[in-house]
């Protein structure tokens, strides 16, 4: 595990949030607030066809009827959000680009700081990045190679024009615009995101990756991601998120839809490192995200892995609808909350098809005054013969002022169902800390090592190159949590 | 200058005094053995030297190369060269023995101003040490101490010691739970580390260990005090006669 010296060095080097810098680029903003005009503005900016604008307006009108429906059931406390006090569109002022050379050097500099291998020569690592900077995808790399294989990987705003039939067919088919308050809002105002289509029978040979970043002050970020894995295909997708450090809270309400057809497999990994706010709980991202996968085909499989270390508030339940017979859904989660962070996260596994299987491994780590809730639903439908679920929720507490909660819901309508649930809560033991320190590790190294061990089952499902980064993040986000 | 000096050490837990004035001097190259009945304070002495929380040092001092050990945190003491092979090694789930070893080794190298050890070099080093200790190769892939047998845990402690090359090594009942062959292997491991600038404090209940690791001095710890000190023959005498006579004297 490489969480040792480098982590300690990094921790020292950056007393503050590592990615807390702001890029100074003139940006093209819509006026503050939300209205039909703003939505028309966004749609016009993107030169969208009528059916897209119609869809947005339908969602917006529905959202207006939902004013009182902002979810309140999660174990989260935050002041009421004023949706009229935010910008819904911000794009770096820049014309269309023919190649990477034309990308604003400041943007590239930003990406460099984030460690994104955007330039072609850095692409040897086999990572194709669709970078979302505020609301517009700035550059898509590796596009050519992927195109040759029939993979479509582009900003969703572009896919609307180039592949309208696919977008029409699948957008909103997993998360309809009526799904929930935040998803409805997203459907009305989403500005960009990634679109992926993997053709029949293709195992996509490289990791696809999007790096989201909120730069503009006071902008909500509403990405929309849609991934379709056609019959017999495979894709591994990684989403990484960082945001600059700001005193005020910023809203992030993304929607991610995955569709896996017969024998297809999607692996979706997230490393979420949004600014968590300061030690007193000032600032930080409000992260209200709807992620859902439809395992539509027979033998299809979706695997969600999330490492959630950032955000002031996390409200997120990546889920699987197991429609196809023999389909499988897996959810691996590490959620770390420190200081005043709050996370209410988990998954829903909805078993509809026969012989469907799901597995949930959740590791919650809470420190400081933070609150960490696992909330999960396993539902076995009446026709889901021989459905299987295994759930394991482990909580680790650091110190005595934080909270950990496990809220599992199990609903079974089929007598052949088999569900297993295991839960543990533990504390980092003094014995373990002393043992590590007796071997020369600093207290922070010891905490990082022990917590990484606790999370291992989840971290090892991440693609190699990101696992190392995630291990370091685990250590950094728990900085100062002991002693 | 003595390598490790313990001067009139008094230690309490709560209201109860456990160590009642211990003085010991370990010079470079020496092996000191401590024997004594259960519950007389042997592990307490080791823990206090290593810097575990929860003990009150009410009097006395411990000096490593003349430096005040109590002014250092546990990790600083470790990096300064104090090593404790635990009586009850702790399990660290999910952390492979090799990454634990690497992290520990690199912490030490950092303190010495050396760069992190190269991955290949590390593997070679560990392999040579595990081989010498008769440990299976895949042992280091397993989570540290998780599911290890008693003997495997003790070997893993000695493995750590041999990698970290301490100045003062305290072995707290490292022989308990070892079978006869393992006892020999582990003792050889310790003997291989004996050097003019290194000292050992070996805590044991069994004279047999001292046939393999031959001590320069043997101390009898009874009721928080050193009741007698002598050469290696003292261990034989204890084996034959028990602690009765010292317990009487101490009380
Ligand atoms: N943290 C503690 N809290 C309360 N009592 C303690 C604590 N640590 C040690 N003691 C007590 O101090 C005494 C000495 O314990 P210690 O573990 O040092 O004995 P020992 O000589 O190592 O015994 P053994 O041979 O059984 O390992 C015992 O009575 C023990 O119960
Ligand atoms: Mg003991």
- Which one-letter DSSP state was computed for residue B123? H
Q: Which of A256, A269, A204, A198 lies closest to A228, judged by CA?
A: A198
Band of pLDDT at residue A217, cut at 50, 70 and 90: low
The residue-averaged pLDDT of B38-56 equals 96
pLDDT digits (tens, 9 = 90+) for A339-377: 899 999 999 999 999 999 999 999 999 998 999 999 999
Q: Report which bound ligand comes closest to the CA of B54.
A: 1
Q: Is B11 in the pocket of ligand 1 (CB under 6 A)?
A: no
Residues A444, A11 contacting (CB under 8 angstroms): yes
Q: Is B40 in the pocket of ligand 1 (CB under 6 A)?
A: yes
- The strands making up A388-397's β-sheet, listed across from edge to edge, are A136-140, A127-133, A207-213, A234-242, A265-273, A301-308, A328-337, A357-366, A388-397, A418-427
The residue-averaged pLDDT of A6-35 equals 55
Select the more confidently predicted residue: A197 or A281. A197
Residues A355, A187: Cα–Cα separation, whole Å: 33
Band of pLDDT at residue A128, cut at 50, 70 and 90: low
Q: Enumerate residues with CB within 5 Å of ligand 2 (an ion).
A: B 42-43, 87
Contacts of A429 in chain B (CB under 8 A): 90
Q: Is B47 in the pocket of ligand 1 (CB under 6 A)?
A: no
Q: Is B13 in the pocket of ligand 1 (CB under 6 A)?
A: yes
Residues A259, A293 contacting (CB under 8 angstroms): yes
Using the predicted structure, report yes or no on whether residue A165 has a pLDDT greater than 50: yes
Using the predicted structure, report yes or no on whether residue A13 has a pLDDT greater than 60: no
Of A430, A432, A440, the CB nearest to B92: A432
In chain B, domain spans: 4-91+166-247
Q: Which CATH superfamily is domain B4-91+166-247 in?
A: P-loop containing nucleotide triphosphate hydrolases (3.40.50.300)
Residue A234: both structure tokens together: 């495979």
What is the per-residue burial (b if ≥16 Cβ within 10 Å, else e) of B187-220? bbbbeeeeeeebbbbbbbbebebbeebebebbbb
Residue B211: both structure tokens together: 């046939």
The dihedrals phi and psi of B98, each to the nearest 5 degrees, come to -70, -40
What is the per-residue burial (b if ≥16 Cβ within 10 Å, else e) of A162-190? ebeebbeebbbebbebebbbbbbbbbbbb
Count CB atoms within 10 A of the CB of residue B148: 18
First to last CA, chain A: 24
C-alpha separations of B15 from B11, B12, B18, B57 in Å:
10, 7, 9, 12
Of B74, B83, B94, the CB nearest to A437: B74
Q: Would you say the ipTM is above 0.90?
A: yes
Count CB atoms within 10 A of the CB of residue A106: 12
Band of pLDDT at residue A28, cut at 50, 70 and 90: low
Band of pLDDT at residue A130, cut at 50, 70 and 90: low
Residues B234, B228 contacting (CB under 8 angstroms): yes
Residue B132: both structure tokens together: 């010498």
Residues B223, B251 contacting (CB under 8 angstroms): yes
pLDDT for res A240: 74
Kindly give the distance from the C-alpha atom of residue B5 to the centroid of ligand 1, in angstroms, as a whole number.
22
Residue of A nearest to B89 (CA): A435
Residues B193, B108 contacting (CB under 8 angstroms): no
Q: Which of B55, B100, B50 lies closest to B75, judged by CA?
A: B50
A456 to B94: CB separation less than 8 angstroms, yes or no: yes
**Residue nearest atom 8 of ligand 1, based on CA coordinates:** B44
Residue A168: both structure tokens together: 């029409």
Residue B55: both structure tokens together: 């003990």
pLDDT digits (tens, 9 = 90+) for B144-186: 999 999 889 999 999 999 999 999 999 999 998 888 888 998 8
pTM: 0.86
Residues A34, A115: Cα–Cα separation, whole Å: 34
Using the predicted structure, report yes or no on whether residue A2 has a pLDDT greater than 50: no
pLDDT digits (tens, 9 = 90+) for B205-224: 999 999 999 999 999 999 99
pLDDT digits (tens, 9 = 90+) for A246-278: 566 778 899 999 999 999 999 999 988 888 888
B79 to A453: CB separation less than 8 angstroms, yes or no: no
Of A8, A432, A445, the CB nearest to B90: A432
Residue A70: both structure tokens together: 């902002």
The alpha carbon torsion through A76, A78, A82, A86 (nearest 10 deg) reads: -90
Residue A335, judged by CB atoms within 10 A of its CB (0-12, 13-18, 19+), counts as buried
pLDDT digits (tens, 9 = 90+) for B83-111: 999 999 999 999 999 999 999 999 999 99
Strands B225-230 and B217-222, by their bridges, are antiparallel
C-alpha separations of A385 from A412, A417, B86 in Å:
11, 7, 52
Q: Whose structure tokens read 């650091």?
A: A398
Chain mean pLDDT for chain A: 83
Residues A298, A326 contacting (CB under 8 angstroms): yes
Residue A309: both structure tokens together: 């270390």
pLDDT for res A214: 52
Residue B157: both structure tokens together: 């402690």
């Amino acid at each position: 595990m490489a969480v040792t010296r480098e982590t300690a060095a990094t921790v020292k080097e950056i007393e503050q949030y590592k990615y807390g810098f702001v890029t100074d680029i003139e940006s093209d903003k819509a006026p503050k607030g939300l209205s039909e005009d703003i939505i028309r503005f966004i749609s016009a900016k993107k030169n969208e066809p009528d059916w897209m604008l119609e869809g947005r307006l339908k969602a917006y009108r529905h959202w207006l009827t939902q004013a009182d429906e902002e979810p309140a059931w999660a174990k989260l406390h935050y002041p009421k959000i004023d949706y009229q006090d935010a910008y819904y569109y911000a794009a770096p002022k820049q014309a269309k680009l023919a190649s990477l050379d034309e990308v604003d050097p400041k943007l590239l500099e930003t990406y460099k700081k984030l460690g994104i291998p955007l330039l072609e020569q850095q692409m040897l690592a086999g990572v194709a990045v669709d970078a979302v900077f505020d609301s517009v995808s700035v550059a898509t790399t590796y596009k050519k190679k992927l195109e040759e294989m029939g993979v479509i990987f582009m900003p969703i705003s572009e896919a609307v024009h180039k592949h309208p039939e696919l977008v029409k067919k699948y957008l909103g088919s997993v998360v309809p615009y009526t799904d929930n308050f935040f998803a409805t809002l997203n459907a009305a105002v989403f500005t960009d995101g990634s679109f992926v289509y993997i053709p029949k029978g293709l195992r996509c040979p490289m990791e696809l990756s999007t790096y989201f970043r909120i730069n503009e002050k006071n902008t909500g970020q509403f990405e929309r991601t849609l991934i379709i894995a056609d019959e017999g295909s495979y894709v591994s997708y990684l989403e990484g998120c960082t945001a600059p450090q700001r005193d005020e809270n910023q809203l992030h309400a993304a929607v991610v839809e995955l569709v896996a057809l017969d024998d297809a497999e999607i692996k979706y990994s997230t490393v979420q490192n949004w600014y968590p706010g300061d030690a007193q709980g000032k600032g930080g991202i409000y992260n209200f995200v709807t992620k859902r996968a439809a395992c539509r085909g027979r033998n299809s499989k979706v695997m969600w892995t999330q490492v959630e270390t950032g955000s002031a508030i996390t409200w997120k339940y990546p889920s699987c609808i197991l429609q196809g017979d023999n389909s499988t859904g897996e959810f691996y989660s590490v959620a770390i909350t420190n200081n005043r962070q709050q996370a209410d996260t988990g998954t829903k596994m909805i078993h509809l098809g026969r012989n469907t299987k799901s597995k949930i491994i959740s590791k919650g780590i809470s420190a400081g005054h933070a609150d960490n809730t696992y909330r999960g639903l396993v539902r076995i439908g009446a026709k889901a013969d021989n459905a299987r679920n295994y759930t394991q929720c482990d909580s680790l507490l650091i110190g005595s002022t934080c909270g950990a909660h496990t809220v599992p819901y199990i609903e079974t309508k089929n007598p052949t169902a088999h569900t297993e649930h295991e839960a543990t809560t533990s504390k980092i033991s003094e014995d373990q800390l002393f043992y590590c320190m007796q071997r020369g590790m600093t207290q922070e190294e010891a905490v990082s090592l022990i917590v990484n061990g606790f999370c291992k089952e989840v971290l090892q499902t991440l693609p190699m190159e990101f696992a190392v980064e995630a291990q370091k993040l685990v250590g950094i986000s728990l900085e100062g949590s002991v002693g | 200058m003595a390598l490790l000096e313990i001067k009139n050490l008094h230690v309490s837990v709560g209201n109860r005094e456990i160590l009642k004035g211990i003085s010991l001097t370990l010079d470079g190259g020496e092996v000191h053995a401590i024997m004594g009945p259960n519950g007389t304070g042997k592990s307490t002495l080791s823990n206090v030297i290593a810097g575990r929380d929860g003990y009150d040092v009410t009097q006395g001092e411990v000096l490593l190369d003349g430096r005040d050990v109590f002014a250092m945190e546990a990790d600083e003491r470790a990096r300064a060269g104090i090593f404790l092979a635990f009586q009850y090694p702790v399990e660290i789930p999910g952390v492979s023995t090799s990454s634990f070893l690497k992290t520990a080794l690199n912490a030490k190298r950092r303190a010495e101003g050396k760069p992190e050890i190269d991955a290949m070099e590390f593997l070679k080093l560990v392999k040579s040490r595990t081989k010498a200790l008769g440990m299976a190769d895949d042992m280091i892939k397993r989570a540290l101490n998780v599911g290890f047998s008693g003997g495997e845990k003790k070997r893993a402690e000695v493995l750590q010691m041999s990698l970290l090359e301490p100045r003062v090594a305290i072995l707290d009942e490292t022989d308990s739970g070892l079978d006869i062959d393992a006892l020999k292997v582990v003792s050889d491991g310790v003997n291989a580390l004996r050097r003019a600038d290194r000292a050992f404090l070996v805590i044991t209940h069994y004279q047999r260990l001292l046939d393999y690791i031959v001590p320069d001095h043997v101390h009898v710890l009874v009721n928080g005090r050193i009741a007698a000190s002598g050469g290696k023959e003292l261990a034989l005498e204890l084996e034959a006669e028990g602690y009765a006579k010292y317990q009487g004297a101490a009380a």
